[in-house]
Amino acid sequence: MREITAEDAAKEIRRAYDVAATQHGGRAWTAIARLAERVDLTPAEMAEGIRHLARTDRRVVIVPESNQKTLTATARMYAVRYGGQDNHLITWG
Tens of pLDDT along 1-31?
A: 678 999 999 999 999 999 988 877 777 899 9
Q: How far apart are CA 38 and CA 12, in angstroms?
A: 9
What pTM did the predictor assign?
A: 0.90
Q: Residue 31 pairs with which residues in a beta bridge?
A: 89
- How many domains, in total, are found in the chain? 1
Print the domain residue range for 81: 6-92
- What average pLDDT does the segment 46-51 reach? 97
Instruction: Say if 1 falls within a structural domain.
Output: no
- Predicted local confidence at residue 74, as pLDDT: 96
Instruction: Say if 15 falls within a structural domain.
Output: yes
Residue that wins the pLDDT comparison between 38 and 3: 38
Is 87 in contact with 64 (CB distance < 8 Å)? yes
